[in-house]
Amino acid sequence: MKLYLTESSGNAYKVRLMLGLLGVPYEKVLLDFPNKEHKQPAYLKISPRGQVPSLQDGDQVFWDSSACLVYLARKFGGEQWLPIAPAAMAEVMQWVALAGNEVQYGLQYGRGILKGIRQGDLAGCQAIGRVALATLESRLKDHDWLAFDRPTIADVANYPYVALAHEAELPLDGYPGIRAWLKRLEALPKWTPRG
């Protein structure tokens, strides 16, 4: 199994986390982000969007972090990380959707603007980021995990950019549930530190 990534990608980090938590061996294929290797024809054959991560397992390639998480959870994680019952799966996937919407357009894009990686409306991103954080806090103030009583891909999907919210100039001081949740995740066996 190969994971195509750049070192700084939070979306690639989600997949690294999942691979580590599941104990799945894989090969890292680092792409040269400053020289836009992810936009070159060779990589565009793997990921037509020209983004990381992409996960290759034999002849199959998945090029979205959420798709990678679903694939890994169902292939290696049984019911623990992504249940198959309709209501239970939907409960997990609504949080995965938050990661791909408000967390991405708020926290990830705000961080990118401040790091000079992207252009955009910082105040608008921060407003969306506050919606993401308020939504997460509404669940985590009374629950240990985003879905059920255990970690799932919902937690993995949201972790990377929430943990870096301060880099979007959105400190987590007013979100005690989120701060406790981050610590619980980082204490999981086989947790993969960033970097």
104 CB-contact burial (10 Å; exposed 0-12 / middle 13-18 / buried 19+): buried
CATH no. of 2-76: 3.40.30.10
Where, residue-wise, is CATH 1.20.1050.10 in the chain? 80-186
All CATH 3.40.30.10 domain ranges of the chain, comma separated, are 2-76
**Tokens of residue 151, six digits:** 């970690």
pLDDT surpasses 90 at 76: yes
Instruction: Retrieve residue 188's tokens.
Output: 């999981």
Q: Which residues contact 52 (CB under 8 A, 6 or more apart)?
A: 4, 5, 6, 9, 11, 12, 31, 38
Q: Does domain 80-186 have CATH number 1.20.1050.10?
A: yes
Q: How far apart are CA 158 and CA 139, in angstroms?
A: 13
Which pLDDT tens digit goes with each residue over 87-128? 999 999 999 999 999 999 999 999 999 999 899 999 999 999
Of the candidates 140, 147, 149, 127, the residue with the CA atom closest to the CA atom of residue 182 = 140
| 195 band by pLDDT with thresholds 50, 70 and 90 | confident
Q: How far apart are CA 1 and CA 55, in angstroms?
A: 7
Rounded Cα–Cα distance for residues 69 and 75 (Å):
10
pLDDT digits 0-9 by tens, 117-174? 899 999 999 999 999 999 999 999 999 999 999 999 999 999 999 999 999 999 999 9
Q: What would the pLDDT profile of 20-37 be if each residue is shown by its tens digit?
A: 999 999 999 999 988 889
pLDDT at 70: 98
Model confidence pTM above 0.75: yes
